Amino acid sequence: MTIRASLSATASILVLAGLVSGSAAAQDASNAISLDTITVEGESATGPVRGYVAQRSSTGSKTGTPLAETAQSVSVITREQMTQQNAQSLNEALRYTPGVITESRGAGASRFDLFKIRGFDAVNYLNGMRMQKMNWVSPQVDPFLLERVEVLRGPSSVLYGQAPTGGMVNQISKLPTATRFGEVGVAFGNNAQRQGSFDLGGPIDPEGRYLYRLTGIGRKEDGQIAKTEAERFAIAPAFTFKPSEDTSLTLLGLFQRDPKASAYIGVPAVGSVLPNPNGRLSRRTNVSEPNLESFDRTQSSAGYLFNHRFNDAVTLRMNGQWFRSDIDYFSVFGSTLAANGRTLSRSVSISHDEMDALAFDNQLEWKFGTGPLSHTLLTGFDAQSSDGYYVNGTGTAPAIDMFAPVYGRPITLPATRRTDVTTRQYGLYAQDEIRFGNFIATFAGRSDWAENKTTVAGVRSQTDDHALTGRAALLYRFDNGIAPYVSFAQSFTPLAGTDFTGRAFNPERGVQYEAGVKYQPVGINALFSAAVFDLTRENLLTSDFAHPGFSVQVGEARSRGVELEAKASLDFGLNLAASYTYLDTKYTRDNSGLQGLVPTGVPSHMASLWLYYDLPANLVPGLSIGAGVRYVGSTFNTNNTIEVPSVTLVDAALRYDFSKLAPQLKGMALQVNVKNLFDKEYVGACYTSTTCAYGQGRVITAGLNYRW
């Protein structure tokens, strides 16, 4: 829902009414009120959103429980925050969120959404359904096509099935609205960036039963690494049929073409993090073959969101999604650095990947009472599957002088082989949110069946898993808005392969204990949260000492930490997003030398602060300014022999509303964003001695937008 409201008393009453009603049904995404001037956005899952502060989340409970009453760590990055920060990748959208590590691949994160949550790898979802991966297939959606991003930290298997212990990121698509609107924009920046975008929507018929939205973006730019480029063209149509206030069906489409995606290669630690007698390598150093390096991706998706409210107590939701990805990949990358510190031996990798994936989630929500207890019972059945293959191979390539590269030497293409991958998962789950006075108790359980088949050169291996997971939480909300809570949650992730005896591996299991407090001040649009957690991953694969070349499931990793977050959008024009994270992450049991070590790219400390301020009309009418600072502590490579220094980065933004200059220019605005304002040269992470990724240098973008 988009509400354009003036500062009149009437508009204030309308907004307040939305805040009070706030239920998932009452705040359906297709409702709208159109008045004037101020944009306030909200959806069925989040309730009214003003600025940066979401009231609800569809991710934490699937029932639209208010964030202040959700007994686990959930963050929401709103459309307004993404726009003001000009987030052009999911990693950029997550930069100011606690517990999320976005520098794990440096500037290479533009090709994939690469991040960790609470020290471990995380997964992506789109509209509550998992975006499945395979080899180089890792679906990516441009942030301009999204209404918001929701981050659930900690295990999520009880509602979503197989998922890593660290957490998940749920991307919510832009949906049709009942208010007619339009937006077009152009932008230019350094690195030869050119961008055009549009976002159109509204009712098709006078009664507002048929709604549409059409969003698109095109972008071209030079990559940070020399002689590389990135291109993207994406369009996302959406259509809603709403025959009544109780029923709606939304159809979603997506086509995204990425014919070029910069580079994913790294440089050695000697010359970037460590001294090199030949000097320091530039972050533009290209150790690949510019005429051969390629990454060509095409993505298509179609989905539906169906919602029917039988009465005030019972609601049915049925969601589905098909996603296809085709990729052609060719890369030359460093393998071993010679003693002279400049000659780098190289390898070559090629791959062609195709995958089709399906996901479904069907939910029945029932509200009822038993004596003094009020229940919100959610039951569901979900399923996901994927069928795909990849034809890949690796080989050697001629060495290169990193400080005086000569490109174009002949490369023999490696032999390839085909791998077919099929996955299936089915799950049944139930969750009961029980309210007694100011107490809110949540109990949830799930049963999953997962099957994975892999066929290589005609030889097939298969794993069949069954897993039970659960979650329990208790929260007490004081009348002043303070809400302490405790929670327990489990996760599972199927593992492919067998041990020496031929027995299939059991799923990786995870468990988390969390305690925290949330505070939503009365009368102020703000939300503060603090959490401490202890999570453990079990059944990790590690070396089998008795049978070299095989693995056993005795590995274990643990992460403990503290997370603080503040979000506020204050009446005098100030938006704020602040966070702090402390992580104590290590391998606690391992046979291959990792025991006691910190996982790759995981810092102990992270902190961020972003402020965005609309200057008062008596100073500079129409001008808004923003500034942010991000601190990422030092990290280590895989075997902890190389320490990557900490870094502090500064971002800035400026926006001018031309309607303050002349009324006939209403809807036109200029926005300038600068990321890494002081052009700090830093390494985001090191994985091996020859694979370190430089972080993104200064990026300046100026855009002109027109809204009507």
Which residue bears the tokens 């950029």? 92
Instruction: Kindly report the three-state secondary structure assignment for every residue of 293-340.
Output: CEEEEEEEEEEEEEEEECCCCEEEEEEEEEEEEEEEEEEEEEEEECCC
Distance of CA 381 to the CA centre of its chain: 24
Residue-by-residue DSSP string for 83-121: HHHT--SHHHHTTTSTTEE--TTGGGGGTS---EETTEE
Burial (CB count within 10 angstroms: exposed 0-12, middle 13-18, buried 19+), residue 480 = exposed
* Overall number of domains in the chain: 1
Residue 314: CB partners within 8 Å, gap ≥ 6?
364, 365, 366, 367
Instruction: Count other Cβ atoms within 10 Å, centred on residue 31.
Output: 21
Q: Is residue 43 part of a domain?
A: no
Which residue bears the tokens 């089709």? 356
Task: With beta carbons less than 8 A apart as the criterion, state whether 491 and 157 touch.
Answer: yes
pLDDT recorded at residue 25: 35
Instruction: Compute the distance between CA of residue 41 and CA of residue 13 in angstroms, rounded to an integer.
Output: 16
Q: Is residue 511 part of a domain?
A: yes
Instruction: Compute the distance between CA of residue 425 and CA of residue 417 in angstroms, rounded to an integer.
Output: 27
The boundaries of the domain holding residue 119 are: 73-163+293-396+415-707
Q: What is the pTM of this model?
A: 0.91
pLDDT recorded at residue 495: 85
- Token pair of 606 as six digits: 């992270």
pLDDT recorded at residue 37: 33
Which residue bears the tokens 């979802």? 125
Which parts of the chain have pLDDT scores under 50?
Answer: 1-48
Q: Is residue 147 part of a domain?
A: yes
Task: Name residue 628's amino acid.
Answer: G
CATH number for the domain including 617? 2.40.170.20
pLDDT recorded at residue 83: 97
The pLDDT tens digits of the residues spanning 574-621 come to: 999 999 999 999 999 999 899 999 999 999 999 999 999 999 988 999
Q: Is residue 243 part of a domain?
A: no
Burial (CB count within 10 angstroms: exposed 0-12, middle 13-18, buried 19+), residue 622 = middle
pLDDT recorded at residue 110: 75
- Helices and strands, number each (H, E), in the chain: 4, 38
pLDDT recorded at residue 252: 98
Q: Is residue 188 part of a domain?
A: no
Q: Is residue 408 part of a domain?
A: no
Distance of CA 274 to the CA centre of its chain: 32
pLDDT recorded at residue 49: 66
Q: Is residue 186 part of a domain?
A: no
Residue-by-residue DSSP string for 347-379: EEEEEEEEEEEEEEEEEEEEEEEETTEEEEEEE
pLDDT recorded at residue 8: 32
pLDDT recorded at residue 108: 64
Q: Is residue 534 part of a domain?
A: yes
pLDDT recorded at residue 106: 72
pLDDT recorded at residue 342: 97
Instruction: Compute the distance between CA of residue 354 and CA of residue 137 in angstroms, rounded to an integer.
Output: 8
